[in-house]
Amino acid sequence: MLLVDDILFSPVRGILWIFREIHKAAMEDAVNEAESITQQLRSLYMQLETGKLTESEFDEQEKQLVDRLDRMESDRQTVSDTA
């Protein structure tokens, strides 16, 4: 009977494994994107300090990056609330 159960449930296990791998890859991408945005913010601050950017240019670019981080966080909250 165990052999029959294994045969019957193997497609379901395979599909679940695929979904877990997709979820894992999506989470890794989100973490990598957040790190990239953080690095871009650091670069912006350095450019402001060295005078390569004006205050208005800095404010505009910083707002865009912070908005992206906020959207990522709200998306992450939405996913965790539905799970």
- The domain ranges of the chain are 2-82
Q: How many CB atoms lie within 10 A of CB 70?
A: 10
> Which pLDDT value is given to residue 79?
72
More confident residue, 39 or 10: 39
More confident residue, 77 or 48: 48
Question: What mean pLDDT, rounded, does the chain reach?
Answer: 89
| CA dihedral for 66, 69, 74, 77, sign (positive or negative) | negative
Backbone angles phi, psi at 53, to 5 degrees: -125, 145
Q: Nearest-5° angle of CA 78, CA 82, CA 83?
A: 115
Q: Judge whether residue 7 has pLDDT over 90.
A: no
> Which pLDDT value is given to residue 9?
84
> Which pLDDT value is given to residue 78?
81
What does the pLDDT look like over 22-60, one tens digit per residue? 999 988 998 899 999 999 999 999 999 999 999 999 999
| Cα dihedral value 69, 73, 79, 81, nearest 10 | -170
